[in-house]
Structure 1
């Protein structure tokens, strides 16, 4: 097993591990409950970690996480009037897809 990276919190760690698993890479979250020991242990040692079962998956896993962190950020007005910001391509108010540029 190989420790791939630390995540800033359990929600992000779970998201990253799920992304890797969906891509066919066996990943797990470790230290997910160690945050409760913060104050007793140094904070940087209490962060959740993403571990890979197979070391040979590390280059592909790092590339996938890099792509996830570099999602384009957008700001667009939906035809229903909702202002949509971030990496979203679908309106959360009406479900319409972001219009494509010509």
Structure 2
């Protein structure tokens, strides 16, 4: 097993591990509940960690997580008038897809 990275919180750690598993790389979250020990242990040792079952997946896993961190941020106005910001390609108000240019 290989420790791939630390995540800022358990929600992000779970999303990252699920993404890696969906891509065919067996991953797990470790130290999920160590945040309760913050104050008794150094904070950087209490963050949840993503572990890979197979070390040969490390390069591909790091690239996948980097792509996830670098999602394009968009800023567009839907035809219904809703302002949509972030990595979203669909309007929250009416469900219309972002216009292609």
Cross-structure match for 2:86: 86
Q: How many residues align?
A: 101
1:65: Cα distance to partner? 0.4
TM-score by length of 1: 0.96
Q: Alignment RMSD, CA only?
A: 0.7
Following TM superposition, by how much is the alpha carbon of 1:66 offset from its aligned partner in structure 2, in angstroms? 0.7
Aligned to 2:14: 14
Matches within 5 A, 1:36-51: 36-51=36-51
Find runs of 4+ consecutive structure 1 residues off by over 3 angstroms: none
- Cα distance, 1:15 vs. partner? 1.0
Gaps of 5+ in 1: none
Q: Secondary structure at the match of 1:76?
A: strand
